[in-house]
Amino acid sequence: MKFWILAWLAFLPFVLIRSENLAESDTFWQIRTGVLTIAQGKIPSVDPFSWTVSGKPWTLNSWAFNVVLGLSYEAAGLVGVALVCACLVAVIGALVLLLARQLGASPVVSAWALLIGAPLLTLFLSARPQLVDYIAVLALVMFLRRLVETRQPAWPLLAIAALTILWVNLHAGALLGVAIVGASTLLVFLRRSTRRRSGWLLAALLTTMLCSLVNPYGTGLVAQTLEVRSESTVIIEWQPFNPTDPLQLMMFAFGLLGLGVAARRGDPVFTAAIGVAVCGSVTAMRVLPVLVLLALPVLAALASHEVVLRYFASRRRMFAQAAAAVLVIAVGLAFFNLPSFGRPDPAHFPGAAIKAIPAGCKLFNDYQLGGLVILERPDVPVFVDSRNDLYGAERVTQSLRVLDGQGDLNEGLAGADCVLVPPATGLARRLHTSPVWDLKSAEATAELFIRR
């Protein structure tokens, strides 16, 4: 057991490296929404943050996760938010290692598999409710495998029910769990050696379907999820799998290899889960990290072959030195960046410019900056932010055209009293020469203009 703990501890520096900077716009408006939910004692039902769609009905697909972020923020600011999300990433690593152990993998090989997979996952392990999806998918696979293998299936079934209810309220990604259970049920039924357990898998499928409805919106959450997909035309992570992107190609190949190994091992649950993730990844690249996380334990078990273990033993010093070098670099980077733990990424977000916005000013803003404005200046209504399902693809696309400096500025900025956009944008360049707008604050990441 101590070797497995050491394998997990080796992963922690990478957790800190990713969580030191908050780089996602979603995180900031989710924090403010959580704070608002706590203060009002109820989930917001209409938009309270913009001047363009103010009062429009709003369905929250991660209301409980927002509350967790809100509580963390009230307790310790953005440092508290980063710390909570770092803990979630640490749980993800622990579950990968636990599943690898259950598949008979070596702790040393599993540790290396996790460290090799970490760079592929880094961009996706940000402070967002998708972290809950990654944890829940791994936990669901673990419970489904127990349901197939154990002679006491009642407790895994109850665990699946509790997991689904918690998951669907933390994030609507719980609908992915229904697909995984459905595919597992089919493969268990088709495989002669496990067919007698298909009744319990069918019960698990019905359980996940019913428990997915235990949320404030009921079946409305399904419609909202479909709406998010259809309105996210400008969001990269909702784009289909792009084989010309080296990172995506590597992640997809990683998953396909895991799928082949799981099928060869005759593991219906892992085969079903990875298969669902493969299909999901083709549709939207945001499923790729789920695919890699599911493949890691299977590939670690494959690599724990006696020949590989003998090779590790014969090159023990070499691998120990390599591991030490990797950990020294990771610990050094984490320690060096520790003073900035939990800050908004300075490469993307301004500081003084947001503070300089006049109170109550109707702001035209860059899509990515809206979330931080909502968090730091709830008194300033924004034009748009990353809640693309609320604004709709047409309004988001319109904001991008104005941001590029296209069209009539009087029409594009109608109703706005101030503008906050990156200095390199076409809009910023046009406003510098406009007699109607004055530059009030300038930073490398944003410039603030006030209407005269």
Q: Does residue 46 sit in the same domain as residue 128?
A: yes
Greatest mean pLDDT among 168-172, 193-197, 395-399? 168-172
Average pLDDT of the segment spanning 229-253: 79
Domain limit, last residue, from 278, 311, 336? 336
Asked if the structure places residue 142 within a domain, the reply is yes
- The encoded tokens of residue 1 equal 């057991």
Q: Does residue 327 sit in the same domain as residue 367?
A: no
Domain limit, last residue, from 336, 364, 399? 336
Q: Does residue 81 sit in the same domain as residue 193?
A: yes
Any idea what DSSP says for residue 339? G
Average pLDDT of the segment spanning 186-193: 91
Domain that holds residue 329: 2-336
Q: Does residue 310 sit in the same domain as residue 375?
A: no
Residue of 14, 5, 101 whose CA lies nearest to 329: 14
Q: Does residue 392 sit in the same domain as residue 316?
A: no
Q: Residue 258 half-sphere exposure, CB side, CA atoms within 13 Å? A: 33
Q: Does residue 117 sit in the same domain as residue 151?
A: yes
Residue 196: CB atoms within 10 A of its CB come to: 10
Domain limit, last residue, from 312, 336, 360? 336
C-alpha–C-alpha distance, residues 214 and 178, integer Å: 14
Place of tokens 């154990």: 150
Pair 67, 37: CB distance under 8 Å: yes
Q: What percent of the chain has pLDDT over 70?
A: 88
- The encoded tokens of residue 170 equal 């933390």
Asked if the structure places residue 308 within a domain, the reply is yes
Asked if the structure places residue 294 within a domain, the reply is yes
Confidence of residue 330 (pLDDT cuts 50, 70, 90): low
Asked if the structure places residue 347 within a domain, the reply is no
The predicted pLDDT at position 19 comes to: 66
Q: Does residue 57 sit in the same domain as residue 153?
A: yes
Asked if the structure places residue 424 within a domain, the reply is yes
Q: Does residue 358 sit in the same domain as residue 274?
A: no
Count of domains for the chain: 2
Confidence of residue 185 (pLDDT cuts 50, 70, 90): very high
Q: Does residue 73 sit in the same domain as residue 151?
A: yes
Q: Does residue 388 sit in the same domain as residue 434?
A: yes
Residue 119, classified by CB atoms within 10 Å of its CB into exposed (0-12), middle (13-18) or buried (19+), is: exposed
Question: Exposure string (b/e) for 87-118, b if CB count within 10 Å is 16 or more?
Answer: ebbbbbbbbbbbbbbebebbbbbbbbbbbebb
Confidence of residue 211 (pLDDT cuts 50, 70, 90): very high
- The encoded tokens of residue 308 equal 């590989």
Determine if residue 89 is left, alpha or beta; phi over 0 gives left, psi from -120 to 50 gives alpha, anything else beta: alpha
Q: Does residue 300 sit in the same domain as residue 399?
A: no
- pLDDT higher at 181 or 348: 181
Residue 166 has pLDDT above 90, yes or no: yes
The predicted pLDDT at position 230 comes to: 58
- The encoded tokens of residue 369 equal 């900056």
383 Cβ contact partners less than 8 Å away, ≥ 6 residues apart: 50, 51, 52, 362, 363, 364, 365, 370, 399, 416
- pLDDT higher at 335 or 243: 243
Q: Does residue 107 sit in the same domain as residue 213?
A: yes
Asked if the structure places residue 63 within a domain, the reply is yes
Asked if the structure places residue 343 within a domain, the reply is no
- pLDDT higher at 271 or 108: 271
Asked if the structure places residue 344 within a domain, the reply is no
C-alpha–C-alpha distance, residues 119 and 259, integer Å: 20
